[in-house]
Chains A and B, each alone.
Chain A
Amino acid sequence: MRTDTLKKALALAWILGFASMWSVAGAAPAPEGQKLLAELKAQAQKEERLVTLLGGAEARAIPKLVSTFKERFGLNINVKVDTGSPSATHVKTVGEMQAGVKPSYDALVLAPDSYMVDLHKAGGYAFVNNWQPLLSEINPLVQKGTVKPEIISPAPFSGFVYIHSNRSKTLLYNKKLISEQELPNTRKEWGNQKYGGKYAVPPWIDSEEYAALIYNEKELETFLETMEQVGKGAKFVATFAEIINRLLLGEVAFMPTNGYMYWEALAKDPTSPVGIKFWRDFTSVTNQFTGVIKDTKSPAAATLFVLWMTTPEAMAILQGANFTTNLIFGETELDKKERLAIKNSGGRVLNWFDSPKSVERFRWVAESKEGQRFSDRLLRAYTQRKK
Chain B
Amino acid sequence: MKGTFVLAWLPLALVVALTLLIFYLSFIPRLPTEPGFTLDHWRGITGGYIVQKVIPNTFGLGVGALAVALFFALPLAWLLNRTTLPYRETMTALVGICLAVPSFVVAMAWIILLNAEAGFVNNLFARWLGVAMPLSASGNLFGISWVLGLVLSPGVFFLISGPIRQLPASFEEAALVTGATRWKTVVRITLPLVWPGILGGIIYFFMTAISIFEVPAMLGARGGQVPVLSTELFFAVHPATGLPSFGAAGVYGVLITGFSLWSLYFYHRVISSAHRYSVISGKGYQPRLTQLGRWAYLAWVFAAIYFLFALILPLLIMIWLSLLPILKEPSLSALSLISFDNYGNFVLLIGGVDVIWNTAWLVGGTTLLVIFFSFLISWYVVRSHLRVGKIMDTVALLPHAIPSVALAFSLFMAGLVFYKWIPWLPLYGTIGIIVIAHLISRISYGTRVMNAALLQVHSELEESARVCGAREGTVMWKILVPLVRPSIFSVGILTALLSFREVTMALLLSGPENAVLATRVWLLWQGGRLTEAAAGAVILAIVSMILVVALLAMQGKRESMGVERASAL
The residue on B at minimum CB distance from A387 is B49
Do A245 and B223 touch across chains, with their CB atoms under 8 A apart?
Answer: no
- In the complex, A236→B345 CA distance in Å? 33
Do B416 and A385 touch across chains, with their CB atoms under 8 A apart?
Answer: no
B242 touches which of A95, A98, A114, A244 (Cβ 8 Å) = A114
The residue on A at minimum CB distance from B512 is A82
Q: Which of B214-244 contact A (CB under 8 A)?
A: 222-225, 237-244
A241 touches which of B47, B419, B420, B526 (Cβ 8 Å) = B526
Given contacts A3-B243, A91-B237, A241-B528, contact A246 B224 (CB under 8 A): no
Mask, B300-330, CB within 8 Å of A = 1, is 0000000000000000000000000111110
- In the complex, A268→B328 CA distance in Å? 11
- B252 contacts A by Cβ under 8 Å: no
- B558 contacts A by Cβ under 8 Å: no
SS class, residues of chain B in contact with chain A:
loop
- A148 contacts B by Cβ under 8 Å: no
Q: Which 9 A-B pairs have the closest CB atoms?
A: A241-B528, A237-B223, A249-B118, A82-B512, A385-B224, A251-B118, A251-B117, A268-B326, A268-B325
Q: A62-B348, A238-B222, A379-B241 are in contact. List 18 more A-B contacts (CB 8 A).
A: A55-B527, A56-B532, A60-B345, A85-B526, A94-B244, A101-B419, A114-B242, A203-B223, A203-B240, A204-B241, A205-B241, A236-B223, A237-B222, A242-B526, A244-B528, A251-B118, A265-B326, A386-B48
B530 touches which of A59, A63, A114, A245 (Cβ 8 Å) = A245
Residues from chain B with a CB closer than 8 A to the CB of A105 are 512
- B349 contacts A by Cβ under 8 Å: yes
Do A95 and B416 touch across chains, with their CB atoms under 8 A apart?
Answer: yes
The residue on A at minimum CB distance from B244 is A91
Do B520 and A99 touch across chains, with their CB atoms under 8 A apart?
Answer: no
A248 touches which of B30, B117, B327, B349 (Cβ 8 Å) = B327
Mask, B327-360, CB within 8 Å of A = 1, is 1110001000100000001001111001000000
Residues from chain A with a CB closer than 8 A to the CB of B328 are 269
- In the complex, A105→B429 CA distance in Å? 11
Mask, A246-288, CB within 8 Å of B = 1, is 1011111000000000000100110110000000000000000
Residues from chain B with a CB closer than 8 A to the CB of A249 are 112, 115, 117-118, 327, 329
Q: How many Å from the CB of B355 to the closest CB on chain A?
A: 9
Do A57 and B527 touch across chains, with their CB atoms under 8 A apart?
Answer: yes
Do B511 and A104 touch across chains, with their CB atoms under 8 A apart?
Answer: yes
Given contacts A56-B349, A236-B139, contact A241 B527 (CB under 8 A): yes
- In the complex, A213→B349 CA distance in Å? 39
Number of residues from B at the complex interface, CB < 8 A: 62
A101 touches which of B118, B237, B416 (Cβ 8 Å) = B416
The residue on B at minimum CB distance from A122 is B243
The residue on B at minimum CB distance from A51 is B512
The residue on A at minimum CB distance from B337 is A269
- In the complex, A51→B139 CA distance in Å? 38
Given contacts A101-B428, A104-B511, contact A203 B115 (CB under 8 A): no
Residues from chain B with a CB closer than 8 A to the CB of A59 are 345, 348-351
B423 touches which of A62, A89, A92, A102 (Cβ 8 Å) = A102
- In the complex, A3→B33 CA distance in Å? 21
Number of residues from A at the complex interface, CB < 8 A: 64
17 contacts between A and B (CB under 8 A): A1-B241, A59-B348, A59-B351, A82-B515, A83-B349, A85-B238, A92-B511, A98-B31, A98-B34, A102-B419, A104-B429, A104-B512, A204-B240, A239-B526, A241-B527, A248-B326, A249-B112
- B89 contacts A by Cβ under 8 Å: no
Q: How many Å from the CB of A100 to the closest CB on chain B?
A: 6
Do A91 and B526 touch across chains, with their CB atoms under 8 A apart?
Answer: no
- In the complex, A80→B355 CA distance in Å? 12
The residue on A at minimum CB distance from B524 is A56
- In the complex, A102→B423 CA distance in Å? 8
The residue on A at minimum CB distance from B522 is A85
Do B118 and A60 touch across chains, with their CB atoms under 8 A apart?
Answer: no
- A228 contacts B by Cβ under 8 Å: no
- B98 contacts A by Cβ under 8 Å: no
Do A118 and B349 touch across chains, with their CB atoms under 8 A apart?
Answer: no
Residues from chain B with a CB closer than 8 A to the CB of A379 are 241
Q: Which of B34-71 contact A (CB under 8 A)?
A: 34, 47-49, 53
- B417 contacts A by Cβ under 8 Å: yes
Given contacts A59-B351, A84-B512, A383-B224, contact A94 B527 (CB under 8 A): no
- In the complex, A386→B227 CA distance in Å? 11
Residues from chain A with a CB closer than 8 A to the CB of B524 are 56
Q: Which of B98-127 contact A (CB under 8 A)?
A: 112, 115-118
- A53 contacts B by Cβ under 8 Å: yes
The residue on B at minimum CB distance from A62 is B348
Q: Which of A189-243 contact B (CB under 8 A)?
A: 202-206, 236-242
Do B326 and A99 touch across chains, with their CB atoms under 8 A apart?
Answer: no
The residue on B at minimum CB distance from A201 is B223
The residue on A at minimum CB distance from B333 is A271
Most chain B C-beta atoms within 10 Å of own C-beta, residue among A63, A80, A91, A99? A99
Q: Which of B491-519 contact A (CB under 8 A)?
A: 507, 510-513, 515
Residues from chain B with a CB closer than 8 A to the CB of A88 are 238, 507
Residues from chain B with a CB closer than 8 A to the CB of A114 are 241-242
- In the complex, A251→B122 CA distance in Å? 11
- A87 contacts B by Cβ under 8 Å: yes
- B523 contacts A by Cβ under 8 Å: yes
Q: How many Å from the CB of B54 to the closest CB on chain A?
A: 10
B351 touches which of A82, A95, A98 (Cβ 8 Å) = A82
Residues from chain A with a CB closer than 8 A to the CB of B34 are 98
Residues from chain A with a CB closer than 8 A to the CB of B527 are 55-57, 85, 241
- A70 contacts B by Cβ under 8 Å: no
- In the complex, A51→B417 CA distance in Å? 22
Q: Which of A301-321 contact B (CB under 8 A)?
A: none
B33 touches which of A100, A237, A251 (Cβ 8 Å) = A100
- In the complex, A2→B243 CA distance in Å? 9
Residues from chain B with a CB closer than 8 A to the CB of A87 are 238-240
Q: How many Å from the CB of A38 to the closest CB on chain B?
A: 29
Residues from chain B with a CB closer than 8 A to the CB of A55 are 527
Do B423 and A118 touch across chains, with their CB atoms under 8 A apart?
Answer: no
Q: How many Å from the CB of A296 to the closest CB on chain B?
A: 12
Residues from chain B with a CB closer than 8 A to the CB of A238 are 222-223
- A338 contacts B by Cβ under 8 Å: no
- B529 contacts A by Cβ under 8 Å: yes
Residues from chain B with a CB closer than 8 A to the CB of A94 are 243-244
Do A245 and B243 touch across chains, with their CB atoms under 8 A apart?
Answer: no
Q: How many Å from the CB of B410 to the closest CB on chain A?
A: 14
- A47 contacts B by Cβ under 8 Å: no
- In the complex, A3→B47 CA distance in Å? 20
Given contacts A57-B527, A82-B351, contact A246 B118 (CB under 8 A): yes
Do B115 and A251 touch across chains, with their CB atoms under 8 A apart?
Answer: yes
- In the complex, A80→B513 CA distance in Å? 9
Q: How many Å from the CB of B97 to the closest CB on chain A?
A: 28
Do B423 and A245 touch across chains, with their CB atoms under 8 A apart?
Answer: no
- A150 contacts B by Cβ under 8 Å: no
The residue on B at minimum CB distance from A57 is B527
Do A3 and B242 touch across chains, with their CB atoms under 8 A apart?
Answer: yes
Residues from chain A with a CB closer than 8 A to the CB of B526 are 85, 239, 241-242
The residue on A at minimum CB distance from B138 is A236
Residues from chain B with a CB closer than 8 A to the CB of A96 are 416
Residues from chain A with a CB closer than 8 A to the CB of B223 are 203, 236-238, 383, 385
Mask, A35-79, CB within 8 Å of B = 1, is 000000000000000010101110110110000000000000000
Do B348 and A63 touch across chains, with their CB atoms under 8 A apart?
Answer: yes
The residue on B at minimum CB distance from A91 is B244
Do B515 and A84 touch across chains, with their CB atoms under 8 A apart?
Answer: yes
Given contacts A1-B242, A91-B237, contact A245 B349 (CB under 8 A): no
- In the complex, A16→B90 CA distance in Å? 70
Residues from chain A with a CB closer than 8 A to the CB of B241 are 1, 114, 203-206, 379
